[in-house]
Chain A
Amino acid sequence: MNLRAHEFGTDTVISVLEPRIDAALAIRFKDRVRDLAPDSAKRVVLDLSEVDFVDSSGLGAIVAVMKLLAPATSLELCGMGTTVAKVFSLTRMDRVFAIHESVADAVPGARA
């Protein structure tokens, strides 16, 4: 599970460098994001721009991470491709997360 974290003050951007977040990876994904998210972070922005596909297990893992980090840290999303965005909208989870176009939109100070 290839993830990369960058801190920008109280914001942390975690980029998912995998083509898929699916049933084969969901549990490892959840554990790794939780480990990478600093306790001090106010926001964790999950950068999904390298991710082509999320299935319902991957979606469930993202929701689980959001719940693990709350309330001290809010989980936000950016860089969703069309297929990933479709899974979020069909399941109405697009109403649950703050969703940004890109890392630069989500974290104005970031040079990603």
Chain B
Amino acid sequence: MKAWQMPSPAPGRSAPVLVASVGNGSLLFTGQLRAEFCAVAPLLRKLTDWLAQNAVPAERQADIEIAMAEALNNVVEHGGLRPRQKIEVLARVTGAGVRIAIIDRGRAYPKGTVPESASPNFAELPEGGFGWMLIHTLTQTLRYHRSAGTNILTLEFDRQ
């Protein structure tokens, strides 16, 4: 059985507890990166390898890589972290798709919420401002939580 096609637990029974493990096809992914742009690509490579091991379709892998690149770049650029501070990435395959959390101890997001998908003015040929638009477009749900000096951004992607 492909991990991607996890059956739901039988009615009346709780889902089995997932124990963190490593290796091919693990349903959990844990990774971390230094808060620098050059650390983003290696983390994304590990993440897409993990997605492939869990039989996530190639097109969805690409969506996840695009959205995660933007989300991680944002933390590096705006989080105010020192380069040797770490950003953590946790991901798991769920019944519905893939859920990924980005955890950092940088500055709180402005207004304490996920920025809107501000559409750049295309007529002006913008050179930026695409990041949140891509993240909003490619995720099914997007949540931001701040507590104890920690930002948690959760991105969920459908399986198909």
Contact = CB atoms under 8 A, between A and B. Distances in A.
Interface of A: 20, 22-24, 53, 55-57, 59-61, 63-64, 66-67, 82-83, 86-87, 90-92, 95-96
Interface string B117-153: 0000010011110110110011000000000000000
B65 A92 contact: no
A24 B69 CA distance: 11
Contacts of B41: 20, 22, 24, 53
A99 B122 CA distance: 18
B88 interface: no
A24 B37 contact: yes
Q: Label chain B's interface by main secondary structure.
A: helix
Contacts of B77: 23
10 contacts: A22-B69, A23-B37, A23-B40, A23-B73, A55-B73, A56-B73, A67-B125, A87-B134, A91-B130, A95-B122
Interface in B89-127: 122, 125-127
Given A23-B40, A66-B125, A67-B125, A53 B70 contact: no
Nearest to A83: B62
